[in-house]
Amino acid sequence: MRRFMDSHQLAHAPAQELHNGAFTAHAETPARARDILAAIGTAEPATDHGLAPIAAVHSDAYLSFLQTAHARWRAAGRPGDVGGYVWPVTRRRPLALDRIDALVGQFSFDASTPIAAGTWDGVYWSAQTALTALDAVLAGDRAAFALCRPPGHHAGADYLGGYCYLNNAAIAAEAATAAGRRTAILDVDYHHGNGTQDIFYERGDVFFASLHADPRTDYPFYWGHADERGAGAGEGATLNIPLPHGTGIAAYLAALDSALAALAAFAPDLLVVSFGADTYVGDPIAHLALETADFTPLAARIAGLGIPTLVVMEGGYAVDALGLNVAAFLAGF
Ligand code: SP5
Ligand code: ZN
């Protein structure tokens, strides 16, 4: 399987995040990408597809904000990384605000996703990595791996959060759709892929299925409940399967089988997998119980669909085991 990652992605390196009431070291580090690379050997760099496929998913106002936020923060005399302290509950009404603090609240939903000096460069190339790996699948490869980092599945059309800024999986799915593919997204990160769900919620042309920790107990709380099934033209094209803490491989595979059956009924000819290794038993911020060896049969079930597949990296924070977990997953293809 061809594997892709671009060294520009390492430019994104926020220092801290707000967690349980205190600032702690940022969990989504460049070391994650280095550890994965060490385990899988090499990766090909991305080719530049420009801003258009990103702007097909994210709003212009949000993209301008992301590109300028850090410079505006410095211009306002602030040290460190950009972070919000005020949020518009239920979005309020559209407002053309100018102060950086108002903008960061408008375009984010949590306080663990700072914008650092290299963030735009890193997130732009993470998205390009997804698009480059998609090219391999569109050209006929059975599967390809995009080592996207920073991850993307919590980012919506006009908001960041959950260590995510640009939704790499959604950008690739939209590009695949534009290329004429009937596309489904399967999200197997520990956390619900709220950004991806939001982006396609009212669309019937892209199917979204997610297995994740129950949002009644886990981040991102406000999305991913089993009764969220899509709306309008997208009614029935979203499938959420929340899982209890402690879920191991047997129960996980049973849930996966029902998601795969729903996916297969949609009859896609291209699959994007949002893969998080934070379902690992040793993950420091998560509570499922998959072992390293479990990732291979998990991936093999997905590969068993026989649909050309783009695997996009999402979370996974047990840095010492991360590379091995990713390698085990890719071995299933
Ligand atoms: C892509 C992805 O897996 N995002 C996960 C975002 C989860 N954020 C909420 C939990 C934050 C825990 N932060 C721990 C910091 C330790 N220094
Ligand atoms: Zn996650």
219 lines ligand 1 (CB under 6 A): yes
- Over the stretch 250-280, which tens digit does the pLDDT of each residue have? 999 999 999 999 999 999 999 999 999 999 9
221 lines ligand 1 (CB under 6 A): no
Q: Which of 164, 217, 219 to mutate to test the pocket of ligand 1 (most atoms within 8 A of CB)?
A: 219
Please indicate, yes or no, whether the overall pTM of this predicted structure exceeds 0.90: yes
> Which residues lie closer than 8 Å to 322 by C-beta, 6 or more apart?
32, 35, 36, 39, 277, 316
Report CA(287)–ligand 2 centroid distance (Å). Answer: 11
CB 58 within 8 A of CB 18: no
pLDDT confidence tier of residue 299, bands split at 50, 70 and 90: very high
Interface pTM (ipTM) of the complex?
0.94
What does the pLDDT read at residue 26? 95
The yes-or-no verdict on residue 8 having pLDDT over 80 is: yes
CB 213 within 8 A of CB 286: yes
For range 286-315, the mean pLDDT: 98
Tell me whether residue 192 is one of the annotated catalytic residues.
no
The yes-or-no verdict on residue 82 having pLDDT over 90 is: yes
Six-digit token string for 261: 């059956």
Q: Which of 191, 218, 312 to mutate to test the pocket of ligand 1 (most atoms within 8 A of CB)?
A: 191
Report CA(155)–ligand 1 centroid distance (Å). Answer: 14
Report CA(304)–ligand 2 centroid distance (Å). Answer: 24
pLDDT confidence tier of residue 92, bands split at 50, 70 and 90: confident
61 lines ligand 1 (CB under 6 A): no
For 21-25, 114-118, 196-200, 260-264, which range has the lowest pLDDT when averaged over its residues?
21-25
CB 269 within 8 A of CB 182: yes
CB 129 within 8 A of CB 6: yes
pLDDT > 90 fraction of the chain, expressed in percent and rounded: 94
Q: In whole angstroms, how far apart are CA 289 and each of 53, 59, 260, 281? A: 36, 37, 21, 4
What does the pLDDT read at residue 93? 84
303 lines ligand 1 (CB under 6 A): no
CATH 3.40.800.20 at 2-47+119-331, yes or no = yes
Residue nearest atom 5 of ligand 1, based on CA coordinates: 162
- Over the stretch 141-173, which tens digit does the pLDDT of each residue have? 999 999 999 999 999 999 999 999 999 999 999
What does the pLDDT read at residue 86? 86
For range 65-73, the mean pLDDT: 97
- If you search the block for the tokens 């969220």, which residue do you land on? 228
Report CA(285)–ligand 2 centroid distance (Å). Answer: 9
- Over the stretch 208-247, which tens digit does the pLDDT of each residue have? 999 999 999 999 999 999 999 999 999 999 999 999 999 9
Q: Which atom of ligand 1 is nearest to the CA of 154?
A: 1
Q: In whole angstroms, how far apart are CA 319 and each of 28, 50, 233, 277, 328? A: 10, 31, 40, 10, 15
What does the pLDDT read at residue 114? 97
Q: Which atom of ligand 1 is nearest to the CA of 153?
A: 1
Report CA(103)–ligand 2 centroid distance (Å). Answer: 25
For range 120-129, the mean pLDDT: 98
Helix or strand or coil: residue 291?
coil
Closest ligand to C-alpha of residue 280 is 2
pLDDT confidence tier of residue 108, bands split at 50, 70 and 90: very high
Sheet with 270-275: list strands edge to edge: 2-4, 143-146, 309-313, 270-275, 183-187, 206-213, 238-243
Catalytic residue among 12, 26, 58, 154: 154
What does the pLDDT read at residue 88? 83
What does the pLDDT read at residue 9? 98
Q: In whole angstroms, how far apart are CA 47 and each of 30, 124, 252? A: 20, 11, 36
CB 109 within 8 A of CB 136: no
- Over the stretch 35-46, which tens digit does the pLDDT of each residue have? 999 999 999 999
What does the pLDDT read at residue 94? 82
The yes-or-no verdict on residue 91 having pLDDT over 80 is: no
